[in-house]
Structure 1
Amino acid sequence: MQVYIRTDASIQIGSGHVMRCLTLANQLKQKNVLVKFICRELTGNMIEYIRQQDFEVFTLKEIDVLSHWDWTTEHWQEDARGTINFLQNENQLINLLIVDHYSLDMKWEEMIRPFVGKIMVIDDLADRNHDCDFLLDQNYYINMERRYKGLVSEKCMQFLGPNFALLRDEFLAIDPTIILRDGEIHNIFIFFGGADSSGETLKALYAIERLLHDEVKVNVVVGVSNPYTSKIKEFCDSYKNIQLHCQIDYMAKLMLEADIAIGAGGSASWERIYVKLPSIVEIVADNQKELTEALETTNAIYSLGKNSDVKEHDIFQQLKLLIDNPEKVKRMAEQCNYVMDSHALSEQKLATQILKALF
């Protein structure tokens, strides 16, 4: 069985799409499925990183534009033709094409349709029509079951909600039911995604500087495409209790050790929720707004709002409030149980569900 994945990463796009696709790719690989990627060469891409994970990557030509999203939306036919060129070179049936890309919709999918057995879309915007057989939206929304009504065919199999979240095996190996959090904050975890083009990691570090003392440990995670890595490293190196980690494969371990997280909305939300890690969240992209606001209604997270409106003092003030109120932090951890069913998630691993549906 052969599967292709069409997705991108860049400074503008971030790394979330690629990372969640890699999680699904690894799940499929464990079931002896051959998975290949198609990615466009963009500044801040993760093509070499995907190859380092032992997946073949075919590359679409680089484009020099301010907004890759807008370019792809306008030039979707060129993108489709480039994708088809790779699909046609295969000597065997391509059973499934997975597309995780906000700029591609039904028109692109209809053009691809004759060259693949089935199409799966990973989305969380619900703002455009799709021609697909499967759709994944792993996010938590109030209107989850009605979210794609009229946007996909009635025959489309929909995997909706955090019980289908694409979590890496390092997380699924953990039994969240045995995680106990007392609400005391002695370990702070900071992660704003692989790119963090707006410098939120530095903002958070400057914000918590006044709260640092010998009993507080801080772990900071950045991706390979973070443009502020050198400045972040310089800051971290000046404190013995701050540790910087770059493009790691032990995120779950750091989250387990942490008592509070400061980070962005998006895919990392499910990693934090799974290990019951209370979070102070900034919305760093428009597609994170609806999800973050919905999660805040559960009281599992605290949202500071749009990152452009967040000042260092806002982060400091909220963190200080939580440090002084361990019972509130403990309740945030407990609320994570109502957002995600960890047992159901491990039982209905997405790759298994997809393969059942294909055959």
Structure 2
Amino acid sequence: MKFVFRVDASIKMGGGHWLRCLALADTLLAKGHQVSFVYAESIPALLKRVEQRPIALFELSASRATELDARLTGELVRRESADWLILDGYHFDSSYRQVLSLSSGVRLLLIDDLNDSGPLYADAVLNSTIYAEELSYSVSGNAFDSPCDLLLGPKYVLLPQAYYRVSVSGMAQRRYLFVNFGATDAAGLTLSALKILNELGFRRDVCVVTGPAMKQHLDVSSLCRRYGYTHLHDLPDLSNVLAQSRLALTAAGSTLHELAFMGVPAVFLVVSDNQLRSARCHQARGWCNWYDGRDAGGLRRAVTEIINWWNDEDELYKRATQACSLIDGHGAERVAEYLQQSR
């Protein structure tokens, strides 16, 4: 079968949508299918990751999420004789999807988190958040007036294949505080977080991972050398580091699913409104806390929480157990199986 992904990335929007699409694409490739990525905007480091795979890349000559974008994407999908078009991004609103579904003539899978952008105009919706079933998706109203299938909940979380193979250490053997603020660190939290950790006297092993489009990664590297922290830049996957991580300080983006699967308790910084509901729901499950990264004191309060948790073995074990119960890691397989059955 042939699958076309329509997804974008940028310094401002980050790379989470791109990376979860790549996780599903890898699963489809492993099953012998053909995959293409179509984009209007991306980040060179993310494009490089796609180029390392047998995936065709197409750049659109249109501004992202415009009517021209939708029509050009539809034409490309028809030319590629695709079986499914997979769409992921908050900027693709209902009017875009309507034009796209009509112009492409193939089935559309919408990857969504919030159900806040109007009628679906899709044949299937994938929402892997823990609150997905509360969002009242309509099962009708796509472009062809046929039922919309719903793939909802954490059983459909799209994790990279590497996570299935890694051996997770017991809490007593875990050594790192994992620090990461996404593919771009659009809010610029990394350097400030490290300075606060040092100021408050945190002298444990810290592993700082900067994403592929984090512009200040050389400054982070310099600061890590001064403080005696480990710095890694543009890792293909985080699984081996997370397997050795005792606790995490991160943005409340898609990394929270990876942390939950690996049983790493976390303190999250919310850096955009679309992260709030997820952060609140995950905190209610008892494995993490969140603070507002846009508030002047939010980061300092988060770092203080990290220090308070670090030596509480019982608390960390309880939170790690809660985290592991949320996600089984087979979401990409389930989505691929659904797409294959829908020939």
**2:77 is matched with which residue?**
87
1:276 aligns with 2:263: yes
Query: Any conservation in 1 of the 2:2–2:35 contact (CA below 8 Å)?
Result: yes
User: What residue in structure 2 maps to residue 32 of structure 1?
Assistant: 32
Q: What's the offset of the Cα at 1:239?
A: 3.4
1:319 aligns with 2:309: no
State the SS of the aligned residue for 1:233. Answer: helix
- Contact 1:41 / 1:61 at 8 angstroms: preserved in 2? no
Partner of 1:123: 112
Following TM superposition, by how much is the alpha carbon of 1:351 offset from its aligned partner in structure 2, in angstroms?
1.0
Mean CA deviation greater in 115-124 or 79-88: 79-88
User: How far apart are residue 316 of structure 1 and its match?
Assistant: 3.0
**What SS is found at the alignment partner of 2:171?**
coil
* TM-score under structure 1 length normalisation: 0.86
CA contact (8 A) 1:185 1:259 kept: yes
CA contact under 8 A between 1:185 and 1:323: conserved in structure 2? no
2:194 to 205, 216, 221: 205
**Pairing of 1:24-103 with structure 2 (within 5 A):** 24-41=24-41, 46-61=46-61, 72=65, 76-90=66-80, 93-103=81-91
Counterpart residue type for residue 41 of structure 1: E
Q: Which moved more, 1:150-159 or 1:202-211?
A: 150-159
Q: Are residue 190 (structure 1) and residue 186 (structure 2) matched? A: no
**Structure 2 residue matching 1:211: 3-state secondary structure:** coil
Specify the code of the residue in structure 2 equivalent to 1:54: P
Residues 200-349 of structure 1 aligned to structure 2 (within 5 Å): 200-209=189-198, 210-213=200-203, 216-240=204-228, 242-342=229-329, 345=330, 349=334
2:21 alignment partner, SS class: helix
> Kindly tell me: are residues 43 and 253 of structure 1, through their superposed partners in 2, closer, same or farther at Cα, counting changes over 3 Å?
closer
Question: What is the alpha-carbon distance in structure 1 between the residues aligned to residue 332 and residue 14 of structure 2?
Answer: 30
Are the equivalent residues in 1 in contact too, given 2:291–2:299 (CA < 8 A)?
no
Distance 1:229 1:340, change over 3 A: same
CA positional deviation for 1:333: 0.7
CA offset at residue 152 of structure 1?
Answer: 5.2
Tell me, in whole angstroms, the C-alpha distance in 2 between the residues paired with 1:318 and 1:237: 24
Aligned length: 336
Kindly indicate whether the alpha-carbon contact (under 8 Å) linking 1:172 and 1:346 is maintained by their aligned counterparts in 2.
Answer: no
Gaps of 5+ in 2: none
Q: Does 1:171 align with 2:163?
A: yes
Instruction: Please tell me whether the aligned partners of residues 132 and 152 of structure 1 are also in contact (alpha carbons under 8 angstroms).
Output: no
Question: Cα distance 1:294–1:189, how it changes in 2: closer, same or farther (>3 A)?
Answer: same
Task: Check the 8 A contact 1:164/1:350 in 2, yes or no.
Answer: yes
Give TM-score scaled by structure 2 length: 0.90
**Structure 1 residue 140 and structure 2 residue 127: aligned?**
no
The correspondence for 1:162, drawn from 130, 149, 154, is: 154
Give the C-alpha shift of residue 157 in structure 1: 1.4
Distance 2:158 2:77 in 1: 25
Distance in 2, Cα, partners of 1:95 & 1:217: 48
Distance in 1 (CA, whole Å) between partners of 2:47 and 2:313 is 43
Q: Percent identity?
A: 23
Distance change (3 Å), C-alpha of 1:10 and 1:152: farther
CA shift in 2, pair 1:51/1:252, >3 Å: same
Q: 2 CA distance for matches of 1:16 and 1:316?
A: 24
CA distance in 2: counterparts of 1:56 and 1:195, whole angstroms: 24
| Change in 2 beyond 3 A, CA 1:89/1:117 | closer
* Deviations 1:22-81 (CA, angstroms, capped at 9, x unpaired): 000111111111110111135677333322333211112375xxxx7xxx3xxx312212
- In terms of mean alpha carbon deviation, does 283-292 or 114-123 score higher? 114-123
| Mapped partners of 1:57, 1:148: distance in 2 | 35
* Matches of 2:58 and 2:152, distance apart in 1: 30
Task: Name the CA distance, whole Å, in 2 between partners of 1:220 and 1:54.
Answer: 31
Does residue 113 (structure 1) correspond to residue 101 (structure 2)? The answer is yes
